[in-house]
Amino acid sequence: MVTIRHGKFDKARALPLHPTTVAALQDYLRRDDRPRPAGMTPLLISSRGKRLRYGTVHGVFHKLLQHCGIAPRSAACRPRIHDLRHSFAVSTIAGDYRTGAPGSRLAILSTYLGHTEPGNTYWYLSGAPELMGLAGERLERHLAGDA
């Protein structure tokens, strides 16, 4: 479990993590010998012991994309680090549709993403054709009395 102390709108929340992620973070902290200023709370810090800046993370992300051979579709359509969050949300919702999980799980996903209201998570539904198709199939089954 990781605690986000000062998230969006200065809200705190706890994020459950997969055991492999916990192990990787514990290994990172064990091997990290960089000095940390007193009262410093960020988990991931720069080589100078400071909070990571967006530009630094963005640059590393693009180097990783190049290393993995992931090319942008065009100059206007490049992968962004925030796309990982969107992909996570869409695949979670799609998995729920495929397994028939109740729609009430959207509130759990909304909390996990740090949204203040589940309604803020609904835009993922309209932004992904796969989800629109799955939602339509679920609606058809419901209207036919199969769901």
3-state SS class at 51: strand
Tens of pLDDT along 84-128? 888 888 888 888 888 877 666 788 888 888 888 877 887 776 777
Tens of pLDDT along 55-65? 999 999 999 99
Given a cut of 80, is residue 27 above it in pLDDT? Answer: yes
Q: Does the global pTM surpass 0.85?
A: no
pLDDT of residue 24: 94
Distance CA 25, CA 28 (A): 5
134 in Cβ contact with 90 (< 8 Å): no
- For the chain, the distance separating the N- and C-terminal CA atoms, rounded to the nearest angstrom, is 35
User: How would residue 39 be classed by pLDDT, with cut points 50, 70 and 90?
Assistant: low
Q: Give bridge partners of residue 45 from the DSSP assignment.
A: 51
Distance CA 28, CA 59 (A): 20
For the chain, the average pLDDT equals: 83
Q: What percent of the chain has pLDDT over 70?
A: 93
